[in-house]
Structures are given as structure tokens and as C-alpha cells.
């Protein structure tokens, strides 16, 4: 589903991504983790065609991201902090997305019910809580049943019940064959809704593979400790 070859990105003299090579297969559930400023956001923007790589190639389902953007019809994206037009309502916004796509969303109504949104659909976004906006973002990401789902810190603002419902939905879509790429700092969440992990540090992919391989490699008892060991070992190799 996602093939990345030699991906690098620089902003003037600052190198943000350094020769990343990845192959995320169709139906995989992969978490992208790393400390702040490790390159995660830039990597996601490259996949979405919002940032042009300095070097390397990206293929999403065999298609290169480009300015035309037709390939984005195969992606559902849920941003960490969704920015909705403040005076539109969720109903108006989701209808606008359907008109932009040129066809109704197959799962819109079911998802609105799933996230208990009907009481809020006709209220303008500026009157809605952050958690309710995040629910609308979830509907936006899933309602066209995309084969690739990119989730950037998706559970920020969710209450515990919605958090569980959201994770159940992600797992269900993965079982149905969707490819999931999750960006998260919450390693418990990473363990629950991913099977593979890509660890970025200073723009480099220090690890890419199943959770179990990272645990064996580090000898750690948990994914959280394994990631910390990986980061500390990299710092130990860096020149002082």
C-alpha cells in the first residue's frame, strides 16, 4: 500500500527526513512514533502531497503523490487538531465533502450514530467542544471507507467511552482490509491498534518492523521500555 524509497526532505539547511525506506503492506497496522521534532509530521505531509520531498520516491497503492491529488480519494486522514469552518455545522461540512467527492459517503449516517453526533449536527463548529469536533474528524476520515487510513494523535480530546469505541472501529476496519498508519505518543494505544512500528529519530528510521522484533532486539518487557531503550542507545552512539 505504501512504498517509500530514499525519502529525504530539507527546509533550507535543516534536514528533516533522512533517506527513509519503508514498505507498508496492504492491510497492515503500523504506528509511527518518535520524540518531538523527529520528522513524523513532515513524513505524513509527504504522504498527503502537502510537502514535496527533496529526494526519494513515494508510492501509495502504486500511485505517486502529486499536486493533482486524485490518489487522496483512497486516503482517510484524521488530524490531531482539526480546523473546521467555525460558522458551518457538521452536517453542512460533511455534505460539502460528499459534493467535493462527487458521491455520497457510504458510511456517513452509521458513523454519525456510532459517535452519538445527531444532537450536534446542526450546531456551528464554534459552539462545539473539542471532543465533539474530534468525533466529526473521525467521521470525516472513515465515512468513504478508504483503503488507507492515516490517524494523527486521533484520541486527543476523547472521553474514555469514545476512546474505546474509536479503537474498536479502527480494529474493525483493519479486519476488513484497510491499511492503518497511526501517529501517537501513547504507547499503550500503539500496542492496542498497531502490529508494526516505525521509530523516527532526527529524521531517520531507527527501527521498522513488528512489535515483537523490537522487544526481542532490546530485551525489554514492554513496548514503552523498548522504545526508550532504542532512543537511549541512539543517543549513546551520537557524538557529544
- The whole domain housing 77 covers 2-83+146-237
Phi-psi region of 62 (alpha: psi -120 to 50; beta: other; left: phi over 0): left
pLDDT of residue 31 exceeding 80: yes
- Report how many domains make up the chain: 1
Residue 54 pairs with which residues in a beta bridge?
Answer: none
Does 103 reside within a domain?
no
pLDDT of residue 198: 96
| The residue to which cell 527501527 is assigned | 207
Q: Note the pLDDT tens digit of each residue in 66-75.
A: 766 778 889 9
Between β-strands 2-11 and 179-183, what pairing exists: parallel, antiparallel or unpaired? unpaired
- Residue 107 burial by Cβ neighbours in a 10 Å radius (0-12, 13-18, 19+): middle
Query: 60 φ, ψ to 5°?
Result: -115, 110
Which residues neighbour 144 within 8 Å (Cβ) at sequence distance 6 or greater?
73, 76, 101, 105, 106, 107
What is the predicted pLDDT for the residue at 235? 67
The grid cell for 56 is: 526519494
- Domain membership flag for residue 106: no
**CB 142, CB 149: distance < 8 Å:** yes
Other Cβ atoms closer than 10 A to 2: 19
pLDDT reported for residue 61: 86
Euclidean distance between CA atoms 178 and 163, whole angstroms: 20
What backbone phi and psi angles, to 5 degrees, belong to 40?
-60, -50
- Judge whether 105 lies within some domain: no
* Whether the predicted pLDDT of 93 surpasses 70: yes
Contact criterion met (CB below 8 Å) for 66 and 49: yes
Specify the residue for cell string 444532537: 119
Neighbouring C-beta atoms of residue 150, cutoff 10 Å: 22
* Lookup: cell for 81: 487538531
Average pLDDT value over all residues in the chain = 92
For residue 33, the cross-strand partners are 199
Q: What is the model's pTM?
A: 0.92
**Is residue 162 in some structural domain?**
yes
| Residue 100 lies inside a defined structural domain of this protein | no
Q: How far is CA 171 from the centre of its chain?
A: 14
Mean pLDDT, rounded, for 41-70? 88
C-alpha cell at 89: 455545522
Longest dimension (CA), the chain: 57
pLDDT score of 240 = 41
* CATH code of the domain in which 71 resides: 3.40.50.300
The label of the residue with cell 490517524 reads: 151
- For residue 111, tell me if it sits in a domain: no
The answer to whether position 93 is within a domain reads no
141 within domain boundaries: no
31: β partners: 182, 197
Cell numbers for 106, please give them. Answer: 457510504
Amino acid at each position: 500500500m505504501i512504498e517509500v524509497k530514499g525519502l529525504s526532505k530539507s527546509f533550507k539547511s535543516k534536514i528533516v527526513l533522512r533517506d527513509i525506506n519503508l514498505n507498508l503492506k496492504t492491510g497492515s497496522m503500523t504506528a509511527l512514533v518518535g520524540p518531538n521534532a523527529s520528522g513524523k509530521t513532515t513524513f505524513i505531509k509527504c504522504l498527503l502531497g502537502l510537502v514535496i520531498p527533496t529526494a526519494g520516491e513515494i508510492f501509495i497503492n502504486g500511485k505517486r503523490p502529486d499536486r493533482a491529488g486524485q490518489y487522496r480519494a483512497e486516503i482517510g486522514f484524521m488530524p490531531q487538531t482539526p480546523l473546521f469552518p467555525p460558522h458551518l455545522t457538521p452536517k453542512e461540512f460533511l455534505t460539502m465533502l460528499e459534493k467535493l467527492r462527487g458521491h455520497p459517503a457510504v458510511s456517513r449516517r452509521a458513523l454519525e450514530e456510532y459517535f452519538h453526533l445527531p444532537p450536534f449536527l446542526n450546531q456551528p463548529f464554534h459552539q462545539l467542544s473539542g471532543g465533539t469536533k474530534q468525533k466529526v474528524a473521525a467521521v470525516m476520515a472513515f465515512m468513504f471507507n478508504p483503503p488507507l487510513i492515516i490517524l494523527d494523535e486521533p484520541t486527543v480530546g476523547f472521553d474514555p467511552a469514545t476512546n474505546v469505541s474509536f479503537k474498536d472501529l479502527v480494529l474493525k476496519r483493519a479486519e476488513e482490509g484497510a491499511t492503518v498508519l497511526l501517529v501517537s505518543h501513547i504507547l499503550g494505544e500503539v500496542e492496542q491498534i498497531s502490529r508494526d512500528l516505525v521509530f523516527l529519530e532526527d529524521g531517520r528510521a531507527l527501527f521498522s518492523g513488528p512489535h515483537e522484533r523490537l522487544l526481542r532486539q532490546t530485551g525489554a518487557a514492554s513496548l514503552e521500555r523498548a522504545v526508550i531503550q532504542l532512543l537511549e542507545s541512539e543517543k549513546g552512539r551520537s557524538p557529544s
